[in-house]
Chain A
Amino acid sequence: MSRFETGGEWVFRSNGVTKSYDGGKTYANRDISIEVHPGEVYGLLGPNGAGKSTLVKQVIGLLKPDSGSIHLGVHDLVADPDAARQLCSYLPQAPMPIESFKLHEAIQLTGEIRGGDRAAIVKRANEMIEAMQIEEWRDTLGAKLSGGVRRLVGFVMVTVVPGRVVILDEPTNDVDPLRRRLLWEQIRLLGEMGASVFLVTHNVMEAEKAVDRLAVIADGELLAEGTPSSLKIADRGCLRLQVMLVPGAPDPPFPPMVRHHSRVGNNLISTINEVDAGDGIAWAQRLMSDGVAEEYALGAITLEDAYIRLTGHVSEENAEMAS
């Protein structure tokens, strides 16, 4: 695979993008300004309904901002949706309409629609099918594929001839853990080819490993932006103390050392200073001996703690674990 020029001419810039519904009563996006460089994997992270999908739909021209601009290099993507569709590839969150396509047909045809050369598509499609380990379903109709394999086929369809911007809305949904890893490798390769990858996700743990930079969005607003490490800076010198409460137990009284905390189900996540580690453990052990908690874990601060601090939400996968 060749490397493409990744000069400044393909920088993505959104400036003050605002989008409202119901005649301005509800804001899906409010004043979103971001800049993404070729080769970057850029995460858009936020709870469901935060406005992530609305933002990327404005990039690809499915929706139009109320105000603000979106540029890719010299191209004004709001004014020229035809250019937006050619320059961006888009994997929506919804399932792909490939029931009557054989796996390889769906990829080949989308590649041709995306303007690729027929022989080059065949070559790259085969490479990607092999890399994702989905060869055994090459000639299977989409209707007979599992949700996870269909998701991967969707990914190959939109990236066999990638856009300058590749928008992936929850690409790992339904994908098994092994192939998830393979998918991340392919996403990284897109960056190496010179594409800017927009990764829309509510899965904080995955995002932490996969993205170069990310934006945290909630209620339509950009709350923070930066590398995963830079978002954790505010929590530097802190630890994460996770306590699993006995089902139905009320919140215990929090000692002053707990900087902030949140709870999903019976899962209590709090942030404490490193120097309070001993006291924190003692507090958690006391909760266990009082019969309020079942177990606890003390660990390094993760992106999720920054995410909780910023959005007030516990990420979905943690919510699922807790329930």
Chain B
Amino acid sequence: MTTDSIAIGPPAAIRAGSTHWLRSLGAMLRWHLTSMRLVFPVMVVVQMLVAAGFSIGMSLFYVEVSPTTGLYLATGAAIITLILVGLVVTPQVVAGEKEAGTYDFSWSLPIPRSASVVAWVILSAIVSVPSMLVALVVAAWRLDVTYYVSWLVIPAVVLVVVSGTLIGYAIAHAIASPSLTQLVSQVLAFGVLGFTPITYPLENLPEWLQNVHLVLPFYHMGVVVRDSLTLGVVDDVGLAYSIVLGWTLASVLVTGLVIGRRK
């Protein structure tokens, strides 16, 4: 590094260690927040509105709801919001960078790749967690439900945000073409919104699709978050946690491979 007599100049040694990592994370967060400052507040507000709209829509769809169904719908809206932000917004931002040709510059900055990834997960949480809260509050008001929040809400939300964002991140970095990335994230969003038993019970789906969802993470993400917000609405929570955890670990692994890969 620099000495007293040298104000600034080419590096003399390679920086490493936890201080370098944390400094890099902080700098990268500031970089992203500044580079998105014109759109970031809009993005958060839009996500909140989407979440609120979703909750209101559900309450309009069902004329009469039992307390259990009400809880199901209320938490479903919140969970979908939480999953979609990481899964859809991340690939879209990265695809945008590739399209503008700025990807090479961000990727050439001397930031540990792991710190770049963690910065993304934090950004994703900054957008998705408030949106989820709005969804919960609006749904509680429209559907007249009461939540039972346990401490498990923290690990449940963390697991869902991390795995959702990392799956999106891995897709964004693995696919070279920005338009294909956009398409894949749209298809994922569509699939999660329409064909995932988060706002309706698993049994409502044809059997083969039920089996698919027992392997995919989305249904289980719904179970763990719902379990942390309600009492007696879901069961098989242990299985759900192990599957979400498995997907989280797999997404960490795949992200590690994708970002370490050079063409």
Contacts and interface: CB of A to CB of B under 8 A. Distances in A.
Interface of A: 1-2, 4, 10, 57, 60-64, 75, 81-83, 85-87, 90, 92, 94-101, 105, 109-110, 112-117, 120-121, 123-124, 160-164, 193-195
Contact of B10 (A4, A60, A109, A120): A4
Contact of A117 (B2, B10, B107, B108): B2
B34 A95 contact: no
A98 B113 CA distance: 21
A61 B110 CA distance: 11
B111 interface: yes
B4 to A, nearest CB: 10
Nearest to A10: B10
11 contacts: A2-B7, A4-B9, A83-B14, A87-B10, A97-B35, A97-B100, A100-B34, A113-B28, A117-B2, A160-B8, A194-B10
B11 interface: yes
Interface in B116-157: none
Contacts of A1: 7
B34 A193 contact: no
Size band of the B side of the interface? 35 or more
Which 4 A-B pairs give the minimum distances between C-beta atoms?
Answer: A94-B101, A97-B102, A64-B262, A86-B110
A85 B108 contact: yes
Contacts of A62: 104, 107-108, 262
B208 interface: no
Contacts of B101: 92, 94-95
Given A2-B6, A62-B104, A100-B36, A113 B15 contact: no
A97 B6 CA distance: 30
A90 B6 contact: no
A162 B10 contact: yes
Interface in B149-176: none
Contact of B109 (A100, A113, A162): A113
Contact of A85 (B6, B27, B110): B110
Contacts of B102: 94-97
A270 B30 CA distance: 56
Contact of B100 (A10, A60, A95, A162): A95
B1 to A, nearest CB: 8
A109 B27 contact: yes
Nearest to B39: A100
Contacts of B110: 82, 85-86, 113-115
A115 B11 contact: yes
Given A64-B263, A92-B108, A100-B37, 14 more contacts: A4-B6, A87-B14, A92-B105, A97-B97, A97-B102, A98-B35, A99-B35, A110-B109, A115-B20, A115-B23, A120-B7, A124-B7, A193-B9, A193-B10
